[in-house]
Amino acid sequence: MNTRRAFLQNVTRSAIGIPLLSLQSAPIISSLTSCAEVADGPVLRVAIMGLGSYGARVAEAMKDCKRAKLVGLISGTPSKVTEWQQKWNIPAANCYNYENFDNIKNNPNIDAVYIITPNALHHPQTLRVAKAGKHVICEKPMAINAKEGQEMVDACKAAGVKLLIGYRLHFEPNTVEIIRMRKEGELGKLLYFQGQSGFRIGNPNQWRLDPKLAGGGAMMDIGIYSINAARYMTGEEPIWVTAQEVKTDPQKFKPGVDETITFQLGFPSGIIGSCLSTYNMNNLDRFFINGEKGFADLQPASGYGPIKGRTHKGELALPHPMHQTLQMDGMAELIFEGKQPIVPVDGAEGVKDMKVIDAIFAAVKSGGKVPIKIA
């Protein structure tokens, strides 16, 4: 709705006027320390910012977490907050709106905020959460360009809090197994990567097709999966890219919103990557890596599950828990114990993907080969 879009475009301003949802007067339970304790260790107490469909998926997944728990809500829609409060038994003292959520700095019962809002809001909201002294989990893409991403990293470092990016696939068993095979040389010298990421997008009025909120189109939303997979499946950072954009529906995909981009990545060892990102085709969700000794194929590769994989050794028959359950438990272990996943999920990892996206857009514009400087 236009009214919602107008609101979203203004939520990053300083708090002014009467808040949409006031903090309740109920006292915060002072007996709790900075984190709750269970048999497996401290529990990461998380407030979700942005109560849309993906936020709901994360909340559902956290029901099965051993190390993470949903304890707070941040939204610009009071009716959603009320609904979620009842469903998840969230105290009123842990509920905020986009204007007053800076007050979480005074709430010792929230350890981290998971930002699940439109892309363009990630940067200002991360800065505010960091300033409030809370750890940040930010959905990908972390920002609309690498410059903003680096500013987020710097702000969290200065505030002494963690910045983690919602790379759920870094914890997914089939993905992790293929990375292990690559690391242990079971695929031999790598030669080629292919990534296909796409679907036909629906409602033309949604924020994902608004360049001011999305920072782009399909590349930001779905193409980033192929970019990230190209990096973790090869174990290398790309050094150049060429890219071509095709737009068949300029009415739906307005200037600044990419519909379909094909791009080619070059890696230091000579590996070539061939990828497709689109908002106009279904049945595109595949990562394939080929080496001199074998191959690995994921299809579907990035959907919510189950991920299905096979290699030159046969089918991968690994369990399929909710990705976000593994992600949130893994992030809690990272924050509390420093346990790192097989592929990083920190802000620096997010900046690397943003540098590749910046280069892809530059290559589309120039029509030539664009160097990528990750370091």
Q: Count other C-beta atoms under 10 Å from residue 284's C-beta.
A: 20
Residue 365 burial (CB < 10 Å; 0-12/13-18/19+)?
Answer: exposed
Structure tokens at 289: 């890596």
* Helices then strands, each counted (H, E), the chain: 11, 16
Cis peptide before 211 (omega within 30 of 0): no
- Amino acid identity for residue 44 in this structure: L
Instruction: Tell me how far apart the alpha carbons of residues 226 and 197 are, in angstroms, rounded to a whole number.
Output: 6
> Within 10 Å of residue 205's Cβ, how many Cβ atoms?
11
Listed residue (52, 56, 91, 49) closest to 73, CA to CA:
49
183 is catalytic: no
Is-contact 280 200, C-beta < 8 A?
yes
Q: Which residues 6+ apart lie within 8 Å of 35 measured at CB?
A: 42, 43, 44, 45, 111, 336
Q: Could you confirm whether 140 is annotated as catalytic?
A: yes
- Give the whole-angstrom CA distance, residue 138 versus residue 142: 6
CA geometry: angle at 326 spanning 329 and 150, to 5°?
75
Question: Rounded to an integer, what distance in angstroms lies between the CA atom of residue 82 and that of residue 21?
Answer: 10
Q: Which residues pair with 56 in a beta bridge?
A: none
The CA distances from residue 150 to 34, 56, 162, 183, 208, in Å, are 27, 28, 14, 28, 23
Distance (Å) of CA 128 to CA 102, 117, 136, 177, 268: 6, 14, 10, 37, 38
Classify residue 223 as exposed, middle or buried by CB count within 10 Å of its CB (0-12, 13-18, 19+).
Answer: buried
- Active-site hit among 225, 232, 352, 355: 225
Identified catalytic residue from 69, 134, 140, 352:
140
Catalytic machinery residues: 140, 225
